[in-house]
Amino acid sequence: MAQENGEYQADVVIVGAGVAGLLVAWKLAGAGVDVLVLESGPWVNRAEAVETYRGAVAKTPESPYPQVPYAPRPTVLALEEYYVQVGPDLFGSTYERRVGGTTWHWLGTSLRHLPNDFRIRTLYGVGTDWPITYDEVEPWYGAAENAMGVAGDSAEDLGSPRSGSFPLPPLPLTYLDKTIKAAVEPLGMSVLLTPQARNSVIYDGRPPCCGNATCVPICPIAAKYDASVHARKAQDLGARIVDQAVVHFIEVSSEGLVTGVRFKRPDGSEERASGRLFVLAANAIETPKILLMSRTDALPNGVANSSNAVGRYLMDHPIQLSWALSRDAIFPYRSPLENAGIEDFRDGDFRRERSAIRIAVGEDGWSFPGTPPTVLATDLVGEGFRGKELVGELNERAARQFRFAGLVEQMPLAGNRVTPAWDQVDAIGIPRPQIDYRLGEFVERGMAEARRLHDLIFDAVGVTFRMHGESFFGAGHLIGTYRMGDDPASSVVNTEQRSHDHANLFLLGAGVFPTSGTANPTLTLAALALWAAETIRGEIQSL
């Protein structure tokens, strides 16, 4: 790997040090490939981040990770400080720009897509089919589970057939899980353990989960997987990771091949990296923004965008949040923030008319709705409680709190779009992402069904108080915007995740998903990244 006067060179240049980019870097470096990874944000010191989180007044997903002006990102408390929102609905999901990406504050949920998620147009007449099948992805799911360390019940496939066991045994159902399970079984529902990239035993040199219950925003002991694991592994194998390198332009030759990328440093100075193959893995907001910013006279619509599909079909899993106070103590805060779920509504003929739904059982009391124990204590002081009576009332109420997050499938709408806000730039002159977003009627019907199901369960459990969120919450799942397909006229990448337009450019991450399904996207994007790594390895070694 060469570097001279702000010029870098490698066989493979990867943009984005999140889970997709770092898994590819790890696999390629292990095969002896010369790899350079460019990451817009800084490295994270876990101990410092934990202390920052503990001292933060607002315990948000972003609170351990201070904003940096050269690589700003959205926050749940200020969605419009970075996003330029122009749609009828606010896009509510956020992400991190730093080495390890958003896996620093992800929950760890590692569900597979269902086989039917890959062919919903054929089965239900909505959305679009994927150009690949579940059976083709299945072995890569297993590889991703082993790479990240997923704990799960191998006897229960959750509707996604498995060719192998989970690498780690499952974490146990909690008392809260068991209480909900007993209540919903007469309704024909089931509460099942959720596969999660969180150690249940020592694995890969990392300790087992000890129940800190701060998975979002940070696991203080690294029991939960984050992509810094593969940053270190890739470096140990010879990959070079350059942080604070904000890529903003992709160079393309007259023959249609990518020749280099330009990036800015925190002081605004510009550097360049060249290579033979290029991988963009900067998430479904930043990747299309980079592609669209790279417009020239020859490519007036930007790079990889002959279809005009780059930036379109942005999706999330809009959350219907509902919370309640049980009659009897249910004891939250004794496990990861979500440990089990109700999977009965993820597929069915109803998908012709409304979204599929996955109901996550919350273990974090009312923290997600905004009333963690610290806030509850303040409220109780306002009600006149003091001393032992305050402690007793706090414990009594907190022990009865629980919530559900109904993750709702979103359909791909061409108008849900990310574009550069050319007239609104950040501290180093790069356009902020402009987002035009709406749920659509299909999703609205799914949200209504989620509220109905939550009420059924509340009735079965027995509650003295219930509340449904009046507006949807973002799940933190950035999906679509450079989707995969067989037709170059309507998609951005092919089944290899290779650009239809540029043979040496690969686009990775959940941006390639044609549809969202109900599974959290990380395991699927990791599986697809490992699949792509094998393609890239074979190609680079044959050049």
Just list the catalytic residues: 477
Instruction: Give the three-state DSSP class for 425.
Output: strand
Q: Which amino acid is it at 300?
A: P
Distance (Å) of CA 29 to CA 42, 463, 525, 534: 21, 54, 20, 12
Pull the structure tokens for residue 499.
């650009």
| Rounded CA Rg of the chain | 23
Q: Sign of the C-alpha dihedral, residues 508, 269, 75, 22? A: positive
In SS3 terms, 225-265 reads as: CCCHHHHHHHHHCCCEEECCCEEEEEEECCCCCEEEEEEEC
Bridge partners (DSSP) listed for residue 403? 323
Nearest to 227 by CA among 144, 289, 285, 171: 144
- The DSSP secondary-structure symbol of 482 reads S
How far is 327 from 334, CA to CA, in rounded Å?
19
Residue 112 near residue 526, CB atoms below 8 Å: no
Residue 382's Cα: distance from chain center in Å? Answer: 38
Residue 287's Cα: distance from chain center in Å? Answer: 14
- The DSSP secondary-structure symbol of 269 reads -
